Amino acid sequence: MTRLPHRYIAQRLAEGDKGTAPEKGAALEDVIAKTFCKVPGVGFIWRNKSNCAGSDEIDMLLYNWRDRLGLPFLPEYLLFECKNWAKPVNSSTLVTFVEKIRVRRLEVGILVAARGITGNGSELRAAKDIIRSAFERDNITVLVITRAELEALRTVKDLVALIQEKFGEFRGRGFILISDSNESMKSAHARRSPKKANRAAKRARRQRPAP
């Protein structure tokens, strides 16, 4: 069982907390690169790249070889947006991120939002409704990971189970459940129960259309 650098994660995020807004963002990006690149088959491509016109910037792009011990249920390229903000990410920011995914003809984006996104509980409002709309209109999946969820991870297996759970819930139910404090506790419990994560992944596979 490969362990994640938990001390590094805590230390790097604490360093970011003492810095400017760009430094906070850089700290979260460092943590994401350090953790996700430990998943079998996942590796770094580039970070903080702008398009040719300079009109938008992507925080991070990772490749995914779909290793059977890694993230075989996700596509070959994973786009990341990191928001180490003191408040939830709003709907306008989600609109921008979804557009970045769409114009690059990708299927999945992962938003790492320190305090989650706007929209109360399981209600599909505010930023949550943008995610629902992107899925229904363009089959774009946006997974949201919070800082609390990152800090709770101890092993690569925990990280894979977290992504399986989120992807399975999203594809199986047609929308995403974003963690509030209570849901984060449920998520941690699910990661300690691999059978639940496997059932979620199976539900996701059944949702995929036949070729």
The answer, as to whether pTM is greater than 0.85, is: no
The string over 175-193, giving b where at least 16 C-beta atoms fall within 10 Å of a residue's C-beta and e elsewhere, is: bbbbbbeebbeebbebbee
Give, for all 211 residues of the chain, the pLDDT tens digit. Answer: 699 999 999 999 999 999 999 999 999 999 999 999 999 999 999 999 877 766 678 999 999 999 999 999 999 999 999 999 999 999 999 999 999 999 999 999 999 999 999 876 554 567 888 888 898 889 999 999 999 999 999 999 999 999 999 998 887 665 544 444 344 434 444 444 545 545 555 555 554 444 4
β partners of residue 61: 46, 79
**116 burial type by CB count under 10 A (0-12 exposed, 13-18 middle, 19+ buried):** buried
